Amino acid sequence: MRGFLASAPGESPYAANVRKFYLFRFLVTFQLWLPIWVLYLTDFRNLSLTEVTILEAAFWLVLVTMELPTGIIADRWGRKVSLSYGAVANAAAIIVFAFAANYGIILVSYLVWGIGLTLFSGADSAFFFDSLKAMGREHEYQKLYGRSWAMQSLGTLAGLLLGAPFAALTNLQTPIILSGLLMLAAWLVSLTFVEPPRHDEGEHGLGALANARHAAGIVYRAPALRWFMLLAAVILATLMCVSIFAQPFLGSHGVAVGAFGLFLLPGSVAGMFGALFLHRVTGWLGTNRTFVLLVPLAALPALGLALFDTIWAWAFYPLNSLAYALTFPLVSDYLNQRIPSSQRATILSMHQLLYSLVLVPLEPLAGLTADAWGLPAAYAVAGTTLAIPALPLLFIWRRALRNESAVAAVPVPAAAPT
């Protein structure tokens, strides 16, 4: 491990960043609570689905309020700083979550957890992109970031396969404690990162408020970027909402806790291969066409699960995982290629902010619907959230793209002779 983390003789420290980032992402997602956390809350802590989704709403509300401040931290003081603090905060939150004896302490752990994740969001892809850019390899971002997403999927897969059987052998609390220790290991890896350059040639660092204003101005003056971010946020929120109900779905159809990992395995595998081959798909279809096709792919799982209340409907869940694994790297690449380095983490955090703003009302509404009318109705709520705005947003985004292309194609007249 020590040799893996150390740079080879003559190797760029930024090349070592890429390798170490893969390990970091694996440890962050190798979490044994993944297949059992909802059951931990409902069975071990005796919460209702409404109470669980209210916790989720509070979690996403923290993300709403903290996304921009933590994005500014990453741009102002460094991506490595943000990632390291995020790992420590996540580790503390997970351990507190494991020992929380009442709803108030669980809520506190959720709030700290949310802060930790906002320290990751934006900073992680900005760190990775800027490390590649320092080596002149930013054009490889989608392919290499897809690999990091595959490592994340591999970590998720390991957590799913090991977490549920381990919980069945011990209890629903022990896997959560071990997950906190794994997050501490991710923190140790983050300490070995080398901060990449955060400013393009001619750029200079701004104060926190000036940086936020400048980043907002960039997004405001780029309609195609703005509408893309909004549509991507709706897609990702819908996919996340569907995934929240995976464990209740399995439990309601009589699947034993120890078998949860096997049921979640196909989705993780689909997501891993989807992220690995995304760059080939976009190379064939183009990024914009691929993004358009992701809209019906994201809507299909919610629609199928709303219509068919049977264990066989689980076949739609791997499609949900695949759509998420394709959407996130594509969106990250699209944004990173179009924003300046000095505002990169802040603008990426703006995207996460939009994502959180959609989820804050969506998850409690879906949870209340599930408690009142059953899981199919909750899936219908999630699907409707995407179906209603998708076509208008697609139309507005495509029109903004055409306008940008028209402006770029206008020739600049030659100067008149004097």
* Residue 385 tokens, joined: 């959230």
Residue 208: per-residue pLDDT: 56
pLDDT above 70 for 391: yes
Domain of 117 in residue numbering reads as 12-196+207-407
The answer to whether residue 2 sits within a structural domain is: no
pLDDT above 50 for 11: yes
* Residue 79 tokens, joined: 């991506």
pLDDT above 80 for 281: yes
pLDDT above 50 for 418: no
The answer to whether residue 265 sits within a structural domain is: yes
Residue 339: per-residue pLDDT: 76
Residue 275: per-residue pLDDT: 83
What confidence tier does 415 reach under pLDDT thresholds 50, 70, 90? very low
pLDDT above 60 for 111: yes
Residue 207: per-residue pLDDT: 54
The answer to whether residue 301 sits within a structural domain is: yes
For residues 387-405, average pLDDT: 87
For residues 119-130, average pLDDT: 84
* Residue 107 tokens, joined: 């809520």
For residues 32-47, average pLDDT: 86
418 compared with 334, residue with greater pLDDT: 334
Q: What is the CATH number of the domain that holds 140?
A: 1.20.1250.20
Instruction: Count the Cβ atoms, other than its own, within 10 Å of residue 109.
Output: 21
pLDDT above 60 for 408: no
What confidence tier does 409 reach under pLDDT thresholds 50, 70, 90? very low
pLDDT above 60 for 214: yes
Highest mean pLDDT among 120-129, 149-158, 181-190, 226-235: 181-190
Residue 10: per-residue pLDDT: 58
The answer to whether residue 373 sits within a structural domain is: yes
- b/e 220-245 (16+ beta carbons within 10 angstroms → b): eebbbbbbbbbbbbbbbbbbbbbbbb
Q: Check if the beta carbon of residue 267 is closer than 8 Å to that of residue 320.
A: yes
Q: What is the pLDDT of residues 156-185, one digit of tens each?
A: 888 888 888 888 888 888 999 999 999 999
Residue 413: per-residue pLDDT: 40
The answer to whether residue 7 sits within a structural domain is: no
Which residues 6+ apart lie within 8 Å of 220 measured at CB? 226
103 compared with 8, residue with greater pLDDT: 103
What confidence tier does 72 reach under pLDDT thresholds 50, 70, 90? confident
What confidence tier does 9 reach under pLDDT thresholds 50, 70, 90? low
For residues 51-66, average pLDDT: 80
The answer to whether residue 331 sits within a structural domain is: yes
Q: What is the pLDDT of residues 223-277, one digit of tens each?
A: 888 889 889 999 999 999 898 888 889 888 888 877 777 888 888 888 888 888 8
The answer to whether residue 188 sits within a structural domain is: yes
What confidence tier does 364 reach under pLDDT thresholds 50, 70, 90? confident
Q: What is the pLDDT of residues 282-330, one digit of tens each?
A: 889 888 899 899 999 999 999 999 999 899 999 999 999 999 888 888 8
48 compared with 297, residue with greater pLDDT: 297
CA separation for the pair 4, 9 (Å, rounded): 12
The answer to whether residue 412 sits within a structural domain is: no
Q: What is the count of structural domains for the chain?
A: 1
Residue 305: per-residue pLDDT: 94
Highest mean pLDDT among 58-67, 71-80, 150-159: 150-159
Rounded percentage of the chain residues whose pLDDT exceeds 70: 89
For residues 398-412, average pLDDT: 65
Residue 417: per-residue pLDDT: 45
73 compared with 45, residue with greater pLDDT: 45
Rounded percentage of the chain residues whose pLDDT exceeds 90: 27
SS (H, E, C) the chain: CHHHHCCCCCCCHHHHHHHHHHHHHHHHHCCCCCCCHHHHHHHHCCCCHHHHHHHHHHHHHHHHHHHHHHHHHHHHHCHHHHHHHHHHHHHHHHHHHHHCCCHHHHHHHHHHHHHHHHHHCCHHHHHHHHHHHHCCCHHHHHHHHHHHHHHHHHHHHHHHHHHHHHHHHCCCCHHHHHHHHHHHHHHHHHCCCCCCCCCCCCCCCCCHHHHHHHHHHHHHCCHHHHHHHHHHHHHHHHHHHHHHCHHHHHHHCCCCHHHHHHHHHHHHHHHHHHHHHHHHHHHHHCHHHHHHHHHHHHHHHHHHHHHCCCHHHHHHHHHHHHHHHHHHHHHHHHHHCCCCHHHHHHHHHHHHHHHHHHHHHHHHHHHHHHHHHCHHHHHHHHHHHHHHHHHHHHHHHHHHHHHHHHHHHCCCCCCCCC
260 compared with 17, residue with greater pLDDT: 17
CA separation for the pair 185, 207 (Å, rounded): 33
* Residue 394 tokens, joined: 């697609």
Residue 381: per-residue pLDDT: 93
Residue 58: per-residue pLDDT: 83
Q: Check if the beta carbon of residue 259 is closer than 8 Å to that of residue 164.
A: yes
